[in-house]
Structure 1
Amino acid sequence: MNPARSQHGDGQRTAGVTFAARLTFEDIRHRYHGKDTIRGVTLTAEPGEVLCLLGPSGSGKTTLLRIAAGIEVQTSGRLLINDSEVAGPSGFVPPEKRGIGLMFQDFALFPHMSVLDNVRFGLTAMPSKNAVSEAMLALERVGLSHYAEKYPHSLSGGEQQRVALARALAPRPSVLLMDEPFSGLDSRLKDTIRADTLDILRESRATAVVVTHDAEEAMRMADRIALLRDGQLVQVGTSDDLYRRPRDLFAAAFFSEINEFSGTVTGGRVETPLGTAPANGFAEGCEVSIAVRLSGLSVRESGGAIPARILARRFLGVVELLDLAIPGTERPVRARIRADLLSPAIRDVTITVDPRDILVFEKPIENPYIGETQI
């Protein structure tokens, strides 16, 4: 049976299944107006995998996506699809011949075309009748076949996002590239649209590379996450890897709110205002940075290890955010606790820290490329 014509038991047709490809960035470097934007990135998205490129603005994630799409050309290095070079010393394969789909941040729908015509726009290589059939199949999968004759302006942001996804998947790309696909959506819709999109990606079986600056979004969607900073790869792994075993202070701070301290290793340990932490693997006398997750602080009226005074508290619904004064530091310590745990009038409390939420790293060194702090 042709997978594009397969049906669920309820009669709903599924999206066409593609042959997922392996996408490899091999020592990719890129310069723009004399500035290094990508610095030797080597990374592979495995067939059928959802890989998120995560990082702050200017980290190089969108540039990598544009290089993969063929919109941008790297300064050096190679891009491979299923181990065949599509950009590098051996030549350049144009975007339309790479079997790659691209979904833009702003959806890039044509306002003068119907929803159906938008979706079949990239299906010019097949007969018109077949193109319409494939476009309708893609629209059915995203639940918008009844909007086929409507125009983009009459759709909500979430519906436009699904049309853009249908258009990207209609040619059955072996790799789908998505640039901040949910950034323009209402926060109340994001969870639903994100979950629906992930279901569609799993069903289509395409390899997907998703750009985002939102760590939680990456953790919700990705099989693996590639964390970038200043054009360099900081760490690659599952969400569990990056959260529980961050490679450096930057990675730790990107995945959770932290309190940061400095210290010196003495006898395999380091003293902090929140207690003593093990510093295994660090040399005696080594200067280190210590990160303590806000969620790792247990704040109680009494019985804790460290006395503290509440300077400020902000109710956030399920949780409260506290600013606390503690001995040993002039900087307030922050904690995130379950709301209504403390009575409204209380000021003097105690703190206990979960040792698993105390992380010790080497001190940041100077970035040799741009002369600023590099974690």
Structure 2
Amino acid sequence: MFKHIMLNGEDRLLFVGEIDLKPAAKFTRNGNSYVLNGVTRRHAGKYVCRIETSPPTELEHTLDVQYPASVRRESEKVQRVVQGSSVTLECMADGNPTAAISWSRQQGHLPSGTQSEEGLSITLENVDRHVEGTYICTASNGIGDPSSASMTVEVEYPPEVITEQAILHTGEGDEAKLMCIVHGRPTPAVSWSRNGDPLMTDNHIIEHDSLHRHTLTISKVKEEDFGDYTCTAENARGQKANTLRLTGLPKTPKMTSSPAGGEKTSYTLTWETESYTPIAQYRLQYRKFKPNVTTQAPGQWIDRLYSPKTSENNFTGPIHHMTHPIEMLEPATDYEATVAVENKFGWSGTSEVFQFYTRKGMAHPMETQGIGCVYGKCDER
């Protein structure tokens, strides 16, 4: 007698003497040997050869059939969850030897920061839009090729509205593009308003692209187009807005001169600003800088209005490079200055405070071995 005890415990009698009871089982008898053709995983188990003697004699063989790993999803292919909640992704694997399961993320690291993790499941906690994507479970046991299954996580969350430029400087007759970047799920509806009023489509073109960028284009800017534009996004999870300012005002000046003055009693201040119309005037403020916090107060601000040089208003572009010589300064003295500029639409913001110093007439009190230091910045004088 020859029988098969399968892995599930079921007995299958294959031969009794010379009689083949299961021809479909692909066994053939060759004397005292049994040959199995076309082995599959269902052939795994114990095989018992029994000789009916008194007492009976049995010989047992174990067939271990190795086969490649396979994997299947235990979770839905698309998992849609609400921001702040948790989601668990699960896979099951089959294979002999036992397959190991690893998790990875298509086009990026896992939320934990690692490239992969081991286990039958992976849990994403307190989810936000940054965990969205396709997660892949891969089973491998060293036999054949690994097997993979994928699941997609989508997170529902209120709109997020990002503006790369809070203020856009432009001029009359120019084209202006106001842009906001909008994220949200479900996909938010986006609208524009100006100074709180819904935007009319005349002279305005509204577009969006696959990178979540929503652009409002004003083809030829008029003075009445200046103002605050609000980009509002709304979906089932909430609403969010962000405001951009379109203005004809000059940009806040940026100082470009070196702190080290080359003269004892004068200093030439230089700066640049962006304005799409000529600069009408500028305000310069300067004073002695406070060199010692505990013993000496700074000087009084000298505040003056000036008209720019004609050459500084030769309008070849929006960037204006401007200079002003400051006279009657004291040698080897530290000063600080600010500047603001005005065009037909009004005043710019005031520049950051800029420190400079004049050349020494005698040893400068802040000078050591030929190096002068102002606010921790040292320059040879």
TM-score category (smaller protein) = under 0.3
TM-score (norm 2): 0.23
Would you tell me which structure has more strand in proportion to its own residues? Answer: 2
Would you tell me which structure has more helix in proportion to its own residues? Answer: 1
- The structure whose RCO (Cα within 8 Å, separation 6+) is larger is 1
Structure of greater Rg: 2
